[in-house]
Homo-oligomer: A and B are copies of this chain.
């Protein structure tokens, strides 16, 4: 069906489309995939032939409905494998990404449906991101960046925006994890840092950290 390389491009266009409305630029894709713009142009032409993306020269690309389905299925595999690694194989949430990058390309419908069942049909991956269902539907949960809350507000930590190992390890060290109830105690006007209460402890986090934590209210 699609080569690993093609799948990586499709997934990348999908991810970039989330926080950017309109055609995804050649350069943006090149940067995300750590490759050269000329390589992106080549691949994008091919994916356009295959009706995965819509591409007009100099206009960037957008996924077709078909392309979105393909992307969802790759992301579904990626996230299910992440759950497997964390829940069953003692990986920590900062270790799963690169292995899941490989596992997501394994071709076997039965493997994925059985894995899904084996894991108990999880709805989120270890970073709180939703796992697309077998039909490609993604059920986004209601969440807000912690940095957008005001003093006194509280909610449950349900996800992270940055999934880099450094950030996740930092959270581990601070004792912040998914499912933790977090309350805004104070916001420093000077640097925008947040004083929060989590797990009975009060701690201060920078605005950058606060902009990478998703909170579900109510």
Contact = CB atoms under 8 A, between A and B. Distances in A.
Task: Classify the interface of chain A: helix, strand, loop or mixed.
Answer: helix
A118 B98 CA distance: 20
B102 A108 contact: yes
A85 B114 CA distance: 9
Interface string A72-90: 0000000000000100111
A218 to B, nearest CB: 37
B118 A107 contact: no
A173 interface: no
Contacts of A106: 99, 102-103, 106
A95 B103 CA distance: 19
A57 interface: no
Nearest to A99: B108
A111 interface: yes
A30 interface: no
Contacts of A89: 110-111, 114-115, 118
Given A99-B108, A99-B111, A118 B88 contact: yes
Interface in A103-143: 103, 106-108, 110-111, 114-115, 118
A85 B98 CA distance: 22
A22 B129 CA distance: 54
Interface of A: 85, 88-91, 95, 98-99, 102-103, 106-108, 110-111, 114-115, 118
**Closest 4 CB pairs between A and B?**
A89-B114, A99-B108, A102-B106, A99-B111
Given A89-B114, A99-B111, A102-B107, 12 more contacts: A85-B111, A89-B110, A89-B111, A89-B118, A91-B114, A98-B108, A99-B106, A102-B106, A102-B108, A103-B103, A103-B106, A106-B106
